[in-house]
């Protein structure tokens, strides 16, 4: 016997059955690469001009290396635009490195968005687990094509749908 379901309900059910793949945003990565290139050039030039003060030169050099590391992250992610960074589905969250954390193994799932005087400083997701490894999984998500509201809504939808689904033998 078939049970009637509205087309809206069927669409919602189909969305929750298919895992949601979250990719890096090309625009965010390009803007990031430009910003980090300019910052690297600025601090690199500052470092080279401060040859008379060794301590300040070392500090500016360390900042330059940090800027290079951020630039490397943007360029590396630009090369992986065709692969999903996150896959959120009924079984849990699968990360870019292949790690799957199931909904039952999560004790806390947080989207952290911090800013200083209106300037965003960090955006990341942090998942605390009951697993032996990793106890805590963190991933920077500033360049992902998803915001905090959508991420948390997806997690709520899939984790609730997963809890309601009968266990398969």
Quick one: DSSP state of residue 51?
T
| Cα end-to-end distance, the chain, whole Å | 23
Residue 2: what pLDDT?
Answer: 46
Distance (Å) of CA 113 to CA 24, 141, 166:
17, 9, 35
Token code pair at residue 139: 């991933």
Question: pTM for this structure?
Answer: 0.72
Half-sphere exposure of 90 (CA within 13 A, CB side): 14
Identify the segments of the chain with pLDDT beneath 70: 1-16, 161-169
Please tell me what DSSP assigns to residue 84.
-
Q: Is the peptide bond before 92 cis (omega within 30 degrees of 0)?
A: no
Interatomic CA distance for residues 169 and 14, integer angstroms = 23
pLDDT at res. 5: 46
pLDDT at 86: 92
Task: Give the separation between CA 48 and CA 115, rounded to whole angstroms.
Answer: 31
> What does the pLDDT read at residue 10?
52
What is the pLDDT at residue 31? 93
Spatial separation of the C-alpha atoms in residues 31 and 120, rounded to whole Å: 14
pLDDT of residue 14: 53
Rounded to whole angstroms, what are the CA distances from 61 to 36, 43, 54? 15, 7, 10
pLDDT confidence of residue 159:
85
């Amino acid at each position: 016997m078939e049970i009637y379901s509205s087309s809206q309900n069927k669409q919602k059910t189909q969305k929750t059955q298919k895992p949601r793949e979250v990719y890096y945003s090309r625009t965010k990565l390009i803007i990031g690469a430009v910003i980090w290139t300019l910052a690297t050039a600025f601090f690199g030039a500052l470092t080279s001009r401060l040859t008379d003060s060794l301590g300040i030169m070392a500090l500016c050099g360390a900042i330059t290396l940090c800027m290079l590391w951020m630039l490397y992250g943007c360029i590396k992610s630009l090369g992986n635009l065709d692969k999903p960074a996150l896959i959120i589905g009924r079984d849990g969250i699968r990360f870019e490195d292949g790690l799957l954390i199931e909904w039952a193994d999560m004790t806390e799932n947080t989207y952290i968005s911090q800013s200083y005087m209106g300037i965003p400083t960090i955006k990341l997701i942090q998942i605390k687990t009951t697993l032996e490894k990793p106890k805590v999984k963190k991933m920077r998500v500033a360049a992902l094509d998803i915001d905090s509201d959508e991420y948390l809504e997806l997690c709520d939808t899939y984790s609730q749908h997963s809890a309601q689904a009968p266990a398969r033998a």
